[in-house]
Amino acid sequence: MRIRPIARNDLDGLQALAQQAGVGFTSLPDNREFLAGKIESAVNAFEERTARDDRLYFFVLEDEDNGELAGCCAIEGQVGHDVPFYHYRLGSLAHSSVQLDLHHTIDTLFLSSDHTGDAEVCSLFVRPEYRGEANRHLRSGALLSKARWLFIADFRDRFPDKVLAEMRGLFDDNSRSPFWESLGRHFFPMDFDEADRLTGLGQKSFIGELMPKFPIYTTFMPEAARDCIGQVHRHTRPALEMLRKEGLRWEGYIDIFDGGPTVEAYIDDVRAVRNSCCYPVAVDDAAPEESVSRWLAATTRMQGFTAAWIGRAPEADRVVLTPAEARRLNVTAGDTLRLLET
């Protein structure tokens, strides 16, 4: 398995991923024309033909055995410049009565665009057959998630100070969002799927036009909806855990449709960015293999960026690859790799 930039001939594979992603996966809508535009934007970004505030770096997880796309992930260079980037910010209002000696604090939701200009890691999806520990594709999700940090570390000057990630919120057994049913439905004359589809297509102006500008008291929401605030979909829990291990934390921002948490961090504080190091490459037929690959390697080229697991730790001044690993990463002796111990 290896990570590489998406290419124009990946459209069919990307649409197949979008069809499997399901409800609530806003950044990967099943719309062929939109996906083709997303691919074109990514190709332009990797070729550095895009303005700094409009860069989309989109990667795919490729199964070398059959050439299939097993998953995808992306990095938005900056959010909120062309289209407003909305969240709810969880806050509180204190009410008190001196005469009655009563004090009460109520949770509130404020419509916010506080993350304008931040980078976003997004669109992480792995096909079901490539998940879990019961098959040979162990740690495919980790490969997708962590490779993005090595890319950011390689090209740190292309990114702002902060990074965020939106997590898919809770849905019931009928794929309905209690948060949406309690709140969004009252302001948008459409179903969740339609609002989600429009947002995924970048048509977000209706959010600011239709959502209330005043704080929303969560006490007016039913318990099932309040319980969704800051909680994630069961399929999203592994991704959230990986982000937490990198140092991203929930600071009280949630998705306005499903109530899922937005986690964030300063990029220079992210574990993988801080701890990864570069080594020159050596290639050796006799390089030993570890039983579990704990090291992630990524090239340092913008075009042709590639990331994959390797089977051994670096030595003092170099990293030794097998010929198969060198081919997978498309490197030769003397090239440079960025390494991260996981």
pLDDT (tens digit per residue) in 208-255 = 778 888 899 999 999 999 999 999 988 888 889 999 999 999 999 999
Q: pLDDT grade, residue 135 (50/70/90)? A: very low
Note the pLDDT of residue 287: 82
Q: CA nearest 39: which of 64, 23, 59, 17? A: 59
On whether the CB atoms of residues 147 and 296 are closer than 8 A, the answer is yes
Active site residues: 233
On whether the CB atoms of residues 278 and 337 are closer than 8 A, the answer is yes
Phi-psi group of 48: left, alpha or beta (phi > 0 → left; psi -120 to 50 → alpha; rest → beta): left
Region 41-50: mean pLDDT is: 91
Q: CA nearest 4: which of 49, 46, 32? A: 46
String of b and e for 209-223 (b: at least 16 CB within 10 Å)?
eebeeebbebeebee
Q: Which amino acid is at 122?
A: C
Q: How far is CA 139 from CA 49, 243, 321, in A?
A: 33, 14, 20
pLDDT (tens digit per residue) in 88-131 = 999 988 878 778 878 888 899 999 989 999 999 998 988 888 87
Distance CA 59, CA 8 (A): 12
For the chain, domains (ranges, CATH) are: 2-90+111-272 (3.40.630.30), 276-341 (2.40.40.20)
pLDDT (tens digit per residue) in 258-307 = 999 999 999 999 999 999 999 999 999 888 877 667 899 999 999 889 99
Q: pLDDT grade, residue 325 (50/70/90)? A: very high
DSSP helix, strand, coil percent of the chain (3-state; round to 5): 30, 25, 40
Burial class (CB in 10 A: 0-12, 13-18, 19+), 301: middle
* pTM over 0.85, yes/no: yes
